[in-house]
Amino acid sequence: MPSPTNAAHGAASQSSAQGAQVKSAVRTVELLEYFAGRPGMHSLAEVQEQTGYPKSSLYMLLRTLAELGWVETDATGTRYGIGVRALLVGSSYIDGDAVVLAARPTLDLLAEDTGETIHLARLDGANVVYLATRQSQHSLRPFTRIGRRLPAYSTSHGKALLATLGDDAVRRLLPERLEPLTEHTHTDREELIRELAEVRARGYAVDREENTLGLRCFGVAIPYRTPARDAVSVSVPVARLTPGREQTIRDALFDARDRLTLATRHL
């Protein structure tokens, strides 16, 4: 029978090994998120400066991820970026998401009814992530990739989703000072919260060139759960927007919300 001392040492050693494995897993995920949020190639020194990881362990982790295809290197092998295997995870998430599947007919119809660019987005912390898009057929139109992440406070679908939270929940989620993306972006959290009260009252949110200059967007939350986590929006170049056009878009959005509520009622 092992002595109590040996048993204690064995347990401590096992716990230490498990802790190291957990730390390695956390760093792996953080590295992939780092590269996913910063397109292009980055030097080891740059990654080390941003992550704070020890250079030797960071190098070994990057080599392992590169061998597995999750990270790519340039021709010199000294710069790193997100690898092609990451696409498999993203595609699998989108392809298997029940809301995305249920929303497809409604997104198609909304794009047909408005002739504008349509987005389906999900709240993820303080950001929204694009899950699906339908491009406008106009030559003047926004281009958005699936998987794009933006601050919720600067987008119409983000504000529609934040409006389904309580004011205190928004305060916990967002800092007092908000980083502007354009000259029209809210920079004061309390000012944003006052607008969210208006969003709740009228049932839709508006992005007035707060994320992209020259673009106005209208968004509604999909209330299949409370608080909502998904929303749909219509994006329109300001040059093409009139009061009558705006009313048509709002009406189409409300119809889409009703159809999406019905389509997602069992989710």
Q: Is the pLDDT of residue 163 over 70?
A: yes
32 closest CA partner among 73, 62, 76: 62
0.85 cut: is pTM over it?
no
What mean pLDDT value characterizes the chain?
89
**Which helix or strand (DSSP H or E) is residue 62 part of?**
helix 55-68
Please report, for residues 170, 218, 226, the alpha-carbon distance to residue 202 in angstroms, rounded to integers and kept in the order given: 19, 12, 18
pLDDT for 16: 47
Structure tokens at 147: 């998987």
- In CATH, what is the architecture of 4-85? Orthogonal Bundle (1.10)
Rounded Cα distance between 49 and 30, Å, is 14
pLDDT at 7: 47
pLDDT at 232 over 50: yes
Residue 136 confidence (pLDDT) above 70: yes
- Spell out where the chain has E strands: 42-43, 71-73, 79-82, 117-124, 127-134, 149-151, 205-208, 215-221, 230-237
pLDDT in tens, 186-218: 999 999 999 999 999 999 999 999 999 999 999
- Residue 4, pLDDT above cutoff 60: no
Domain 97-263 carries which CATH code?
3.30.450.40
Per-residue pLDDT tens digits for 58-116: 999 999 999 999 999 998 888 999 888 887 777 777 778 899 999 999 999 999 999 99
Tell me the per-residue pLDDT of 24-54, one tens digit each, with 9 for 90 and over: 889 988 998 888 878 889 999 999 999 899 9
Kindly list the domain boundaries of the chain, sorted by start residue.
Answer: 4-85, 97-263
Give bridge partners of residue 71 from the DSSP assignment: 82
